[in-house]
Structure 1
């Protein structure tokens, strides 16, 4: 996998229609899973934490990334805040220290 990190801080992409934003985010994560050079890590925090949990429309694509060796990490404080701690479906739980370390060490950070 590559030297870049994808940071997902919301379950919608862009501003305007929330419905469109959810569709765009699903498309974004699918497109990331199809890149010839995959990210090293995908971080999910704040609203992005919903995407790695039960009921997420993106679980298939995120699981495909995980199966290809991409490190999928979701913020534990965020899971707790949204009441999703027992609903995490893919990847591992991380904390702010690890998020900052991962971002700081990344060659490049891509944010939808």
Structure 2
């Protein structure tokens, strides 16, 4: 059974790296699945900017499933409400909670480390 660690995962875009967007979206799916399978989960996954689209996309079942497994194990999944509104996807949020900049920054400051994808 996975434990929750003292680090957070920051997802600031709906892909990993620069270059091909399809490859980047697939890399994000694989990265989140790898985190969900790890022995030590982040204490929180923090989604901002286009990162919120990954958790609100009805065609992105892999991301929602990985984040859902992490949430069930005790990892917070917080999405920026301003970002959800900007992209018009607040009603489509599939996993976690709508949050704000203050709460997201608090989680970052309290963590021993922040891993950004």
Answering whether residue 33 of structure 2 is matched by residue 33 of structure 1, we say no
TM-score (norm 2): 0.92
Determine the structure 1 residue equivalent to 2:107.
Answer: 102
Q: Deviations over 1:19-47 (max 9, x none)?
A: 10001000000000011111100001100
Determine the structure 2 residue equivalent to 1:81.
Answer: 86
Measured on the aligned residues, the alpha-carbon RMSD in Å equals: 0.9
Determine the structure 2 residue equivalent to 1:66.
Answer: 71
Q: Deviations over 1:43-71 (max 9, x none)?
A: 01100001221412411111111111110
TM-score (norm 1): 0.96
Determine the structure 1 residue equivalent to 2:116.
Answer: 111
Note the residue ranges of structure 1 that are not aligned, 5 or more in a row.
none
Note the residue ranges of structure 2 that are not aligned, 5 or more in a row.
none
Paired residue total: 112
Q: CA deviation at 1:99?
A: 1.1
Report the secondary structure of 2:41's partner residue.
coil
Moved over 3 A (4+): none
